[in-house]
Amino acid sequence: MSDFLPYGRQSVSDDDIAAVAEVLRGDWLTTGPAVTRFESDLAEHTGGTPAVAVTSGTAALHVAYAAAGVGPGDEVVTTPLTFVATAATAALHGAEVVFADVEPDTGNLDPTAAQAAVTDRTKVLAAVDYAGHPAELDRLREVADSAGALLLEDAAHSIGGSWRGRPVGSLADLTTFSFFATKNLTTAEGGAVVSPSAELVERARAFRNHGLVRDRDRQRYPDEGAWHQEVHAFGLNYRLPDVLCALGSSQLRRLHAFKQRRAEIHARYDEGLRDVPGVLTPVRRPEADPMWHLYPLRVLDGRRRALFDHLRAHGIGVQVNYIPAYWHPVFEDLGYSRGLCPNAEAYYAQELSLPLFADLDDADVDRVIDTVRSFFGA
């Protein structure tokens, strides 16, 4: 059997290593200039929207909901076709998570379903850019505004993409990114919150740093001494260190190349698989310029698991993204039932993520295509 081919893998260059080594030789390992530089570099890819770097995509969601003021008595409307963190971080703030169904073709939150789900208790409407294809942020903005809610874009998959010509990160009140190793760029672990609102950015910065207040003009007891700092509202330590921010800034210089290569791989899969009976290749809305993070093949007729096992047996590391969030026992124990979002459950039952990462070569893409075709006798 050939070497095992993972479904995702980081791309680390000599320049990335040099950027990290430079920080290691300097005076700041954390809370230093590389953090500020990374946030500034990131804003260049979000239409200038200010960024707050944090320790993970999950932390970004937790921070974003905190900045939005989510708490007990509030509702957060979101999609179930996502990693559990999109919903879990809202629940951890005490909110009730309301799941709305997805579009059957893109897997993204359906604006019509979202409209039916929002109420006067909805604090945040949280969309997810599934597989890197931007959600319909213009229509979802109308839904959020109709409920007096903030719009959050979970863009863990989609940095570098755009919707109707506007870059991801410039469309929502709050946008969250993930820089995990398999994502479109990496800081090993890491994430960010971006927002056009100075108030939301300030709240995000405070929450990621314990809620500490060092500005004397805002302190309750400013005459305590030059060392004095206060906490006015609880926060956590979600600071992304300089070492990882240096890696992120270096990776951002290759973001366009990463996007181009992912698009080439995606197109090669499309060409090699679109005529295979028993599968559906991903769709793309004309308004979208995706940053393809996943290649979500749809396997029909109940054969997804068999194809999964077949590919794994041939050393191809496919994955399934994702189990509907409310299927997790933690939500089941809160009273959520299967059957809540039929489109999301049908999508999950068919979805199979093929290997997709920037350093994947054409020969390996063709190997995946040939192995899929052999399963179907195509």
For 285-323, the pLDDT digits (tens) are 999 999 999 999 999 999 999 999 999 999 999 999 999
Residue 225: CB partners within 8 Å, gap ≥ 6?
Answer: none
Residues 126-149: tens digit of each pLDDT: 999 999 999 999 999 999 999 999
Tokens 């949280």 sit on residue: 126
Given 183, 205, 208, 304, the catalytic residue? 183
d(C-alpha 356, C-alpha 163), whole Å? 22
Task: Return the structure tokens found at 95.
Answer: 């909110």
Strands (E), the chain: 51-54, 75-78, 96-99, 122-128, 150-154, 162-163, 166-167, 174-178, 191-194, 212-213, 230-231, 279-280, 288-289, 295-299, 351-354
Contacts for 260-268: CB closer than 8 Å, 24+ residues apart: 261/358, 261/360, 262/132, 262/184, 262/291, 262/292, 262/293, 262/356, 262/357, 262/358, 263/290, 263/292, 265/292, 265/295, 265/356, 265/360, 265/365, 266/292, 266/295, 266/356, 268/362, 268/365, 268/366, 268/369
- Tell me, what's the pLDDT at 313? 97
201-232 per-position pLDDT tens digit: 999 999 999 999 999 999 999 999 999 999 99
Q: Determine the length of the chain.
A: 378
| Mean pLDDT confidence for 251-276 | 98
Q: What angle do helix axes 57-67 and 85-92 make, rounded to 10 degrees?
A: 40
154 CB contacts (<8 Å, ≥6 apart)?
61, 78, 82, 86, 126, 127, 128, 129, 176
In the beta sheet, which residues pair with residue 319?
Answer: 353
Please, which pLDDT band fits residue 3 given cuts at 50, 70 and 90? confident
pTM (two decimals): 0.97
Q: Which residues are within 8 A (CB) of 173 and not within 5 positions of it... i.e. 6 or more apart?
A: 68, 144, 150, 151, 152, 195, 196, 197, 200
Domains and CATH numbers, the chain: 14-252 (3.40.640.10), 255-376 (3.90.1150.10)
For the chain, what percentages of helix, strand and coil (3-state, to nearest 5) are there?
40, 15, 45
* Phi, psi (degrees; rounded to nearest 5) at 18: -65, -40
Query: At 85, is the pLDDT very low, low, confident or very high (cuts 50, 70, 90)?
Result: very high
Rounded to 5 degrees, what are φ and ψ at 74? Answer: -90, 155
Residues ≥6 apart with Cβ < 8 Å to 180: 56, 57, 186, 188, 189, 190
Query: How confident is the model at residue 303, as a pLDDT?
Result: 98
Q: What percent of the chain has pLDDT over 90?
A: 99
3-state secondary structure of 200: helix
Question: pLDDT tens-digit profile of 331-368?
Answer: 999 999 999 999 999 999 999 999 999 999 999 999 99
Q: What is the pLDDT of residue 2?
A: 53
Whole-number average pLDDT of the chain: 97
From CA 9, how far away is CA 160, in angstroms rounded? 18
Helices 242-252, 14-24: inter-axial angle, 10-degree rounding: 150
pLDDT in tens, 117-131: 999 999 999 999 999
Q: Indicate the pLDDT class of residue 1, thresholds 50, 70 and 90.
A: very low
| Cα of 344 vs its chain's centroid, Å | 18
Place of tokens 């050393």: 315
The answer to whether 91 and 71 are in contact (CB under 8 A) is no
Report residue 29's pLDDT band, with 50, 70 and 90 as the boundaries: very high
Which amino acid appears at position 185 of this protein?
L
Copy the structure tokens of residue 14. Answer: 């000599």
Burial class for 322, CB neighbours closer than 10 Å (0-12, 13-18, 19+): buried
Inter-residue contact 326 to 86 (CB < 8 Å): no
Q: 123 an active-site residue?
A: no
Provide the CA 158 distance to its chain's centre, in angstroms.
7
- Can you read off the two tokens belonging to residue 324? 């509907």
